[in-house]
A and B are shown apart, each in its own frame.
Chain A
Amino acid sequence: MGQIWLLAKITFKEGVRNRIIIGILFFAFLLSLLNLIFAQMFTYDLSKVSVDLGLSMVSIAGLAIIFFMGINLLSRDFEKRTIYMVISRPIARWQYVLGKYLGLILMIGVSVAIIGGFAAGSVKVIMHLAPAYVPPDYSWGIFGISLLFSFLSLLTVTALAQFFTSMMTSSYIALLLTACAYFIGQNVEIVRKMLSGSEDFSTFFRIFLEAVTWIFPNLSAFDLKTIAGYGLPLDTVSTIWSALYGIGYIGLILILTVFVFQRREVG
């Protein structure tokens, strides 16, 4: 654990000192100000709109951090050979993978916490301005859980990003693959639902789609924004299973990354 933590710490520091992350956080701050104006443009359900926007902002900023910084931090290790300063130490390959991952998710976690704070602030203001539209069962607890699940979704994408960077020599391709995996993960459930209602698709296509649902993460399972927005009752059992699903998926991807990276030659 010691070695992993040491690597996580320098990865985190390297990440948060980058100007890009400051830019992204600043952008998120501006968006939460915009949220105040934007929500006023709606005629009804104001607070729901502001919760929606606030939580979406967290996801978007988190994705921006992964795509603009995370992948860069990972691939630069190979492209610039900064990895030598790490793996020339008594650090095993699996420790490298986990340490790097831990550092990245620390960085993302801190960002999510900060932006989530902005979002909560703007929602609070809207609710104060338009108390009539606050859903009767609105709960900040569910808002928090929804934030956690956004974070879980980002953790999944990060694990995939790391998997692809440790497999590909080009960071550009890794970025593309991660983006594809993200879009597939967001939409695979809808597509499958749509097809389950109609009969005119070939068996092959059905099997293919079923396989896709097993390979890619169902990221829409981590999307609780609507529940948070309307203050709907949160089903504990399905929430726990969704969390376990995410954890299981991340665990698998990390182990696969370790397997791939063990074999990789860092020439």
Chain B
Amino acid sequence: MIIQIDNLTKWYRKGRTSKVPAVDNLTLAIAKGEVFGFLGPNGAGKSTVIKILLNFIRPSAGTAMIKGIPVQDPLARGSIGYLPENPYFYDHLTAEEILMFGGRTARMDRNLIGERIDQLLARLKLAHVKRQRIRTYSKGMVQRIGLALALIHDPEVCILDEPMSGLDPLGRRLVADLILDMRRNGRTVFFSSHILSDIEKLCDRVGILNRGRLLYCGNTDTLQAGAGGLEKMFIQLVEQDERENHGADLAIG
């Protein structure tokens, strides 16, 4: 398993004494070459899991490993490409400089990075702004640069937090194509989204998260066979969970 999460729990302090779990005893394994969609309502804990995988925050309990390396070890991040939700960069740098930084920190060869930069920027339709500072970019362009930075070192695992947000239909199409490309090349993609159609189209497997707990984890094909597809199932699962375990009535998931 390329990503292995075991009994992961993360408590957040809420007020002086009370604590709420953002992630509650989560166990999840993702195989090499899989495209995994991570689904859940806002605040379900998707981003928290991703941040633990990148060691931005530490788990309260449980472990997470990438390629068998605990995420606390910086080496684990050598094989990860990460796109944050709403990425920001150093404004005064150019796309080329940022991507060079990304490639060099992954210990790539300088010439190789140059080629890779041109190739990626062309693919993402950013070649014309290669030497422009990021501050002149539009929001969608920044998002695409974020994707380029995630992919610069051709990582084995790609972790994308809401990769489609802030993109126009053309941009979304670009990202979708890139993800499909990675699948073809045997890369693993782990991405969170609430755009269900994207997940349906791209993923081999989905995990549905609510209040830090995994409600469902399985193949998309079996889902689509059932009536109503992913959307209906998602809403049903979340509503059911809210009713049964949290005593709340949710109109919409």
Contacts and interface: CB of A to CB of B under 8 A. Distances in A.
Interface stretch (B28-36, B78-86, B165-173, B195-203): B78-86
A87 B88 CA distance: 13
A84 B82 CA distance: 9
B224 to A, nearest CB: 33
B54 A87 contact: yes
A82 interface: yes
B141 interface: no
Contact of B74 (A9, A17, A81, A92): A92
A265 B133 CA distance: 29
Given A92-B74, A265-B56, A82 B89 contact: yes
A14 B105 contact: no
Bin chain A's interface residue count: 20 to 34
Contacts of B55: 87
B75 A90 contact: yes
A2 B110 CA distance: 13
B176 interface: no
Given A90-B106, A91-B105, A267-B57, A85 B78 contact: no
Contact of A6 (B57, B74, B104, B146): B104
A91 to B, nearest CB: 6
A10 interface: yes
Bin chain B's interface residue count: 20 to 34
Contact of B84 (A3, A18, A84): A84
A126 B58 CA distance: 60
A10 B94 CA distance: 10
B97 A87 contact: no
Contacts of B78: 90
B117 to A, nearest CB: 15
- Shortest Cβ-Cβ A-B pairs, 9 listed: A17-B92, A88-B82, A90-B78, A89-B105, A14-B90, A265-B57, A92-B74, A266-B56, A84-B84
Interface of A: 2-3, 6-7, 9-11, 13-14, 17-18, 80-82, 84-85, 87-92, 95, 265-267
Given A14-B93, A85-B146, A90-B75, 14 more contacts: A3-B105, A10-B98, A14-B90, A18-B92, A81-B86, A81-B88, A84-B54, A87-B55, A88-B77, A88-B80, A88-B84, A89-B102, A90-B77, A90-B105
Interface of B: 51, 54-58, 74-78, 80, 82, 84, 86-93, 97-98, 101-102, 104-107, 133, 146, 149
12 contacts: A6-B104, A10-B90, A13-B97, A17-B93, A17-B133, A85-B102, A88-B84, A90-B78, A90-B106, A91-B74, A91-B77, A266-B56
